[in-house]
Structure 1
Amino acid sequence: MKLMKLIPATAVASLLPLVAFAQDAEAAASGFDEVGPYIMTTLLFLVGGFLVFWMAAGFAMLEAGLVRSKNVTTQLTKNIALFAIAAIMYWLIGFNLMYPGEWWIAGIMGPWFSVTSLEPVGLAAADASLDYASVGSDFFFQLMFCATTASIVSGTLAERIKLWPFLIFTAVLTGVIYPIEASWQWGGGFLSEMGFSDFAGSTLVHAAGGFAALAGAIVLGPRIGKYTKEGKTVPIPGSNLALATLGTFILWLGWFGFNGGSQLAAGTVGDITDVSRIFANTNMAAAAGAVAALILTQVVYGKVDLTMVLNGALAGLVSITAEPLTPSLFMSLIIGGIGGVIVVFAVPMLDKLKIDDVVGAIPVHLIAGIWGTIAVPLTNDGTSFGTQIIGVVSIGAFVFIVSLIVWFILKATMGIRVSEETEINGLDMAELGMEAYPEFSKG
């Protein structure tokens, strides 16, 4: 008070706006404590979601590079179509199958439509449910995982499957198969109650897609000329390793959203710090997988195999996806590195079984996904190897058997394989009437 008497009245008046601003700032800060977690978690879902969406481009580029030029347009068509179908099917019936608590969202179409309405435009904080995140962001983020599962199947069955039977299978996978098995863990189902742990989907997404692809590969059979009568494997090089490398880098980038967004919260210092830890571990595992494949192919084959290095990085990413939070950077290196080793040995193993996997999706997503899931107890005291194995077997048996049934039905009713002539000449002209590289084919 004594000090105030020494300050001129005009000076005091000039300070009043500053005092008012400080009071407003304090009130705003207090308000952010209430709405901040909702805002930040919603933002995490949106950013994570569009990063995972970008993985769709990664799969498209990877597959376009690893198939022959006469089949590139078909692969690109499959990839954009499967994402669009997944988006519709997951909205139509998938989301409510995956989250049983969402079955009775009010709406004119009743329970068949998972998300009948989003929040109203210009939603006020007072009207929002601030305990989590917006419905739109949650649905958007979860949809991307569903679409990723279908992308895994596409590459395995390339160069000999008809377009429309594949897309019908995609509708069943994204609308029914994936949502049901994912609900067992992420929907609060029996695996969740048992203590099964799969942070971002090494098994729920990647191995599930791998099991669906394996079933399809068995029913479909290998490409013409892939295996000789004597049992030898004939290499069939892809058309563009630059595209395949670009696709791998895109997938690597998208994986930060895949794993980081699966923290499912960003409203506290602890949450956002955990996201940064997940990013670092994810990156380390990818790097370790690539280096492991790099060194191992040099040792085993006498030369580095770029396709193995690319898949080694992806296998490292798949391996760490089951638990990217709790490991140290060193353990992330070990987990990812083993994923890279798995790819180098699993690819020729499949060839011995005459299972033709064009892009190596089964070793990368199925086998490395199983490894990553079973490895969770190494860094997470809350899980057991027995529970993890039960989870893998349950999901694997369900997805593989149901997928096998669907593939057999499609084969019996409309056929799933193109004719021998179409396969030899390429699917692009027969299925679509256009080529990815017309100037080269005519040269």
Structure 2
Amino acid sequence: MVHSLRQFLPRFQWAWVACVPLTALIVIGWGLAAHAQDAPEMDPMYPIFLLNNLWVFVGAILVIFMNAGFGMLETGLCRQKNAVNVLSKNLIVFTLATAAYWFIGYSLMYGEGNGWFHFDGLFFDPSFDEAEYIAEAKLVPSLDFLFQAAFAGTSATIVSGAVAERIKFTAFLIFSLVLTGFIYPIAGGWQWNGGWLNQLGFYDFAGSTLVHSVGGWAALTGAFILGPRLGKYSENGTPQALPGHNLSIATLGCLILWIGWFGFNPGSQLAMDSEVPYIAVTTNLAGAAGGIAATATSWFTAGKPDLSMTINGILAGLVGVTAGCSVVGMGGAFIIGFIAGILVVFSVYTFDSLKIDDPVGATSVHLVNGVWGTLAVGLFANGHIEGMNGLLFGGGMTQLIHQFIGVFAYGIWTLITTAGLWYALQATVGIRVEPEEEKIGLDVAEHDMEAYSGFLKDSSGVGISE
């Protein structure tokens, strides 16, 4: 009897632990219901106000959790000797983005301005009329800041993978602060704060260009100025494979990012309404199509299905539909994702041939398909939003021209500012580690530690995947 009880107790304990989140949700739901019952005495919009704010709060958490996905993805696609460094960059970048965006970034993006430049002072610390926000079911300012700060962090995280395995940690920190505090928010206000591009008619719902291609352009300039990793190219210029050390965590990272995208795109509706599930479905279809297309393309071109291409194909599809997920049909979303999956494979091959070394394919995923997805709005917008029709749905060239102008404006802005910043850092603190440090790995050279201490060693003590 005692023996049976001992066997049962661990199961009971795990069942009890599993009940804790459910109990918490019940308590929260009960509290919201209680507020909702009292709400009519205050304002009939109170339940909607609560629901909208709760949904965007969940969306913000999902987007923040995407940092875990980026960390796993980039670490897995890089070599063992640089795992600590890649993880450190992905973790610290969100802390820096939050601080820089609070200090000045949010003010530059959402302050008062003239369509080109906005500013509302330093150190975001809002005051607001709660009754007004309830009556209009608006997001409270602090929650809007949290959601937008998560997006700012994403733009810098994109850069991390493209410059991996040879950048100085200090240089990356400084670059991330300037990108999230100044470069990204100034340009972001051109569209999302009613700036000149918004007034023109440019449309980017959740940031194919504002977040992904801005991060992609910054990544491209960094990878180009840094130069390729040691051993990436043979003496005759042929690209050499430097395979990642852990495709298991890279795949996990992809899946985390896919889940996080349901905060990124549906959360950008900034309300819980009937559009949220529609946006979620178009997002999911594009990701699925991208994975299918990239797998098939790599299989056809290389003779074998490449898991890393499947991973990047899924992400390419998600990036591609981010601009138009609210204005394209489900068929259009699938086509956008499918084309993105093809593009990402050939883009990786092209950047390799140009000797632009991007260890994780960030420029191919975020830059190339950020541009493609933004232009795709001008092709596939199907009138889901009144008056928003692309070329293939009777809208003529107008929307496509607006999308071209937006892509061009963000490209020029980001290329000039980030290239200038990289060269300034190169001339001062330096941006690339010494060859000896790169050979032994940045984990030891930059952090004096190993990701897998005591594991994965051969008889000589050298890491197997180095």
Give the TM-score category using the shorter length. Answer: 0.7 to 0.9
Q: Which residue of 2 aligns with 1:429?
A: 444
- 1:253 corresponds to which of 250, 259, 263: 259
Q: How does 1:239-388 map to 2 (within 5 A)?
A: 239-266=245-272, 272-380=273-381, 381-382=387-388, 384-388=399-403
Q: Deviations along 1:214-257, whole A, 9 cap, x unmatched?
A: 11111111001111231210010001000000000000000000
CA distance in 2, matches of 1:37, 1:339: 37
* One-letter amino acid matched to 1:42: N
Work out whether residues 46 and 135 of structure 2, in 8 Å CA contact, stay in contact via their aligned partners in 1: no
Residues 1:147 and 2:153 aligned together: yes
| CA 1:299–1:441: 2 relative to 1, 3 Å | closer
Residue identity matched to 1:85: L
Which structure has the larger Rg over C-alpha atoms? 1
Residue 112 of structure 2 corresponds to 101
Question: In 2 relative to 1, CA 114–38 (structure 1 residues): closer, same or farther, beyond 3 Å?
Answer: farther
Q: What is the match of residue 191 of structure 2?
A: 185
| Cα-to-partner distance string for 1:410-438 (whole Å, 9 max, x where unaligned) | 00111100000000110000100001011
- 1:285-334 CA-partner distances (Å, limit 9, x unpaired): 00000000111111111100000000000000000000112222221110
Q: Distance in 2 between matches of 1:342 and 1:436?
A: 34
Q: Which stretches in structure 2 are left out of the alignment for 5+ residues? A: 1-34, 382-386, 389-397, 459-466
Separation of aligned partners in 1, 2:41 and 2:282: 34
Are 2:69 and 2:256, in contact at CA under 8 Å, matched by a contact in 1? yes
Q: Is the 8 A contact 2:191 2:202 kept in 1?
A: yes
Q: Is the CA contact (8 Å cut-off) linking 1:38 and 1:134 kept in structure 2?
A: no
Secondary structure in 1 aligned to 2:265?
helix
Aligned CA distance change for structure 1 residues 25 and 165 (closer, same or farther; 3 Å): closer
1:145 and 1:52 map into 2 onto residues whose CA distance is 7
2:421 aligned partner: 406
Q: 1:28 to 1:213 in 2, by over 3 A?
A: closer
Q: Which residue of 1 aligns with 2:23?
A: none
Higher relative contact order (CA 8 A, sep 6+): 1
- In 2, are the aligned partners of 1:94 and 1:114 still within 8 Å (CA)? no
Q: Tell me, yes or no, if the aligned pair for 1:52 and 1:255 is still in contact at 8 Å.
A: yes
Task: Judge conservation of contact 1:319–1:371 (CA < 8 Å) in 2.
Answer: yes
| Aligned partners of 2:378 and 2:401 also within 8 Å | no
Check conservation: 1:149, 1:208, Cα contact below 8 A: yes
In structure 2, the partner of 1:196 is 202
In the alignment, what sits opposite 2:55?
44
Per-residue deviation, 1:57: 0.3
Deviation for aligned residue 1:56 = 0.4
Secondary structure in 1 matching 2:191: coil
1:159 aligns with 2:165: yes
CA distance in structure 1 between the aligned counterparts of 2:229 and 2:133, rounded to whole angstroms: 58
One-letter amino acid of the structure 1 residue matched with residue 297 of structure 2: L
Q: Displacement, 1:133?
A: 1.3
Instruction: Give, as a single letter, the amino acid of the residue that structure 2 aligns with 1:259.
Output: N
What CA distance in whole angstroms lies between the structure 2 residues aligned with 1:114 and 1:205?
Answer: 22
Count of aligned residue pairs for this structure pair? 406
The letter for the 1-side match of 2:209 is T
Q: Deviations over 1:41-61 (max 9, x none)?
A: 211210110000010000000
Distance 1:77 1:342, change over 3 A: same
Cα displacement string for residues 240-276 of structure 1 (whole angstroms, at most 9, x for unaligned residues): 000000000000000000000111222xxxxx21100
Per-residue Cα deviation, 1:97-132 (whole angstroms, up to 9, x for no partner): 0012399xxxxxx9432422466xxx9758867451
Scaled by the length of structure 1, the TM-score of the pair is: 0.88
Does the 8 Å contact 1:91/1:115 carry over to 2?
A: yes
* 1:100 partner amino acid: G
Show CA shifts across 1:122-176 (max 9, x none).
x975886745111111111111100000000000000000001001000000000
The separation in 1 between residues aligned to 2:267 and 2:36, in whole angstroms, is: 30
Query: Distance between the aligned counterparts of 1:188 and 1:376, measured in 2?
Result: 19
> How many angstroms apart in 2 are the aligned matches of 1:252 and 1:327?
19
SS at match of 1:232: coil
Partner in structure 2 of residue 70 of structure 1? 81
The superposition leaves residues 370-403 of structure 1 with CA deviations (integer Å, 9 ceiling, x where unpaired) of 0000010223253611110000010011011100
- The answer to which of 395-404 and 125-134 deviates more is 125-134
Q: Does 1:224 align with 2:235?
A: no
State whether residues 104 and 124 of structure 2, in contact with CA within 8 Å, keep that contact through their aligned partners in structure 1. Answer: no
Amino acid across the alignment from 1:420: P
Whether the aligned pair in 1 keeps the contact of 2:322 and 2:373 (CA below 8 Å) is: yes
Q: Distance in 2 between matches of 1:36 and 1:326?
A: 28
